[in-house]
């Protein structure tokens, strides 16, 4: 559920940080905001057997955010229909059940015809292993 690479990050840095995504509140989130930080990109779902990982992700965020780690939750309903809620419902679920306050994005496609540009970038630069096969796939 982790995807790592040994390719040089600097080769792709400019392209990645030129991308953006809507946050869970519908506002534009420029990835350039996170330049010079480590980003843990995680596709998430509220009705998955792995949903309890929200607690671990929150703990990771609280422990390392001041040292430059960004945990970025990316809701997707592409695996078993396990994220059917609206952004508002997803946000409330995460806050109430796991006290999540790490950055979350708009619900997007992480694979397929309508893949979000962030995941398309990951696939183009790191291959198919960067594309989630299920919920809570992580790319660092």
Burial class (CB in 10 A: 0-12, 13-18, 19+), 22: middle
pLDDT digits (tens, 9 = 90+) for 31-43: 999 999 999 999 9
Q: What is the CATH number of the domain that holds 22?
A: 3.40.30.10
Say whether 124 sits in a helix, a strand or coil: helix
Could you tell me the pLDDT band of residue 15, with boundaries at 50, 70 and 90? confident
Q: How many distinct structural domains can be found in the chain?
A: 1
Domain extent at residue 121: 2-139
Residues carrying an active site annotation: 48
pLDDT digits (tens, 9 = 90+) for 77-131: 999 999 999 999 999 999 999 999 999 999 999 999 999 999 999 998 889 999 9
Rounded average pLDDT over 56-63: 98
């Amino acid at each position: 559920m982790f995807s790592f690479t040994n390719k040089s990050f600097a080769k792709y840095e400019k392209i990645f940080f030129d991308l953006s995504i809507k946050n869970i509140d519908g506002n534009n989130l420029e990835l350039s905001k996170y330049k010079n930080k480590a980003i843990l990109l995680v596709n998430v779902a509220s009705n998955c057997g792995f949903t309890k990982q929200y607690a671990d992700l929150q703990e990771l965020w609280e422990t390392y955010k001041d040292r430059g780690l960004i945990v970025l939750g990316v809701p997707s309903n592409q695996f078993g229909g396990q994220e059917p809620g609206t952004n508002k419902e997803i946000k409330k679920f995460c806050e109430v059940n796991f006290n999540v306050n790490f950055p979350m994005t708009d619900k997007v496609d992480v694979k397929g015809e309508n893949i979000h540009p962030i995941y398309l970038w990951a696939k183009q630069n790191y291959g198919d292993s960067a594309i989630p096969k299920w919920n809570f796939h992580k790319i660092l």
